[in-house]
Amino acid sequence: MSAAEGPLVVGVDSSTQSTKALVVDAATGEVVASGQAPHTVSSGAGRESDPREWWDALHEALRQCGDAAREAAAVSIGGQQHGLVTLDEHGEPVRPALLWNDVRSAPQARRLTEELGGAKFWAERTGSVPAASFTVTKWAWLAEHEPDAVRGTKAVRLPHDYLTERLTGEGTTDRGDVSGTGWWASATETYDPEILAHVGLDPALLPRVVRPGEVAGTVRDSHDLPFAKGTLVAPGTGDNAAAALGLGLRPGTPVLSLGTSGTVYAVSKRRPADPTGTVAGFADAHGDWLPLACTLNCTLAVDRLAALLRLDREAVEPTGDLTVLPYLDGERTPNLPNASGLLYGLRHDTTAGQLLQAAYDGAVHALLGALDLVLDADADRAAPLLLIGGGARGTAWQQTVRRLSGRPVQIPEAKELVALGAAAQAAGLLTGEDPAAVARRWNTARGPVLDAVERDDATLARISGVLSDAAPLLERSEPTR
């Protein structure tokens, strides 16, 4: 490990499938140590994880960081959004957490939207229209299907809240992550009493919302992590807000993130409220807003198809007239929670490589379709797309985004941007800086820019046409499994 110029901080990314920890020099942004450990996610109709596995994974990731983690002066945790964590009076999980990509609450999402004034009411009140990913719909599903679990719940948390509370002993959240619950009013930045009453959730069960730049707490005595008692703990935030901090985003810069889910977002000074439900009107982690559109199927869906075809994920060929809608987990954008994957245009001469490229096209089409709604009037629509996430290093992903967007694409060299954003948040506690300014000082967005190519309008139009024609099949009320 090289000698650090400034104090060390720890940034954590507790994602769907693993926890990653970085020890970062707050002065330079140099990553001096890192660690990673996996989680278990259930398969089948639901997507659930035991929150205690997240804690165990955090312990292992920090152990891999060695002595550097023990020297940290501050820590912050970024985590997967929307997950419903229910705790008993001892702070232990009542049941496994319902994760963001668990779509069983789609009926509850539709019912809540109808019962409380329709999509316009929800967009104006919370910034978003409820979808099956949102925490409020998961609570409604739990109340309907597992009332004993609801009765046994003495605290309701998001994934990053759970880990932060185990560090500090205090129930806290932040505006970025809480804005994805569906029970936080974005106009007033408070919990919404009407929505909470409607779903039967006592506000006393919810955590305190910590403001940007505020200390969430300090590391308490009773823990088994390599932090000294009194180490500062930042508010933490949801994964997308953390990645935005990690990039040091300024308003209007578009981001396309390729991970288990795909997202497009940009920081905005304007509070978003899209009644179509395509754009979620999230808050960011430093006082602005983060309008965002998310797809459930991205790298995992394409990799699954590559595995079925026994192809390397880069073994693509031009598609011809083949269309794949890779909605293997249902879909959120477009809002088709019960859909499954669809293949159209198969011929005798279709190759496996063409089929794989069509899956890439289908995944990117969904994201680009929402991009214009995400960007506000101040955005530079010719600026390079910042391409991040696990898929951003893949040539096939890069070329597909370039071809279907017609825009230049920039690939930041920095990896683990969620953990870096959390580290910038922790560093901001020590220096008094805006965490996004810390990330800009670290130059985290530096990376090569791929020139724009002519947009493939024919492929975009073909996919849109197949999606429109297949709507009755994709909108079936019950999933076909």
Say yes or no to pLDDT of 1 above 60.
no
Residue carrying structure tokens 């957490």: 97
The CA-based diameter of the chain, rounded to the nearest angstrom, is 67
Residue 8, pLDDT score? 97
Residue 312 among the catalytic residues: no
pLDDT band at 481 (very low <50, low <70, confident <90, very high): very low
Average pLDDT over residues 170-175: 97
- Per-residue pLDDT of 288-326, as tens digits, reads 999 999 888 999 999 999 999 999 999 999 988 999 999
b/e per residue, 315-347, with b = 16+ CB within 10 A?
Answer: ebeebeebbbbbbbbbbbbbbbbbbbbbbbbee
The one catalytic residue in 239, 274, 329, 434 is: 239
- Strands 409-410 and 449-450 come out as antiparallel
Instruction: Give yes or no for a cis peptide into 254 (omega within 30° of 0).
Output: no
pTM higher than the cut 0.75: yes
List Cβ neighbours of 397 (8 Å cut-off, separation of 6 or more): 258, 299, 360, 364, 387, 391
CA distances from 383 to 242, 391, 403 (A): 22, 20, 15
What does the pLDDT read at residue 329? 83
**Could you give the CA distance from residue 48 to residue 51 in angstroms, rounded to a whole number?**
9
Report the share of the chain in percent with pLDDT over 90: 84
Beta bridge partners of 238: 79
Is residue 299 within 8 A of residue 390, CB to CB? The reply is yes
Q: Which two tokens stand for residue 53?
A: 């596995």
Q: In this predicted model, what pLDDT tens digit does every residue of 430-450 receive, in sequence order?
A: 999 999 999 999 999 999 999
Q: What's residue 480's pLDDT?
A: 42
Q: Are strands 85-87 and 155-157 parallel, antiparallel or unpaired?
A: antiparallel
Cα(first)–Cα(last) distance of the chain, in Å? 50
pLDDT value at residue 212: 93
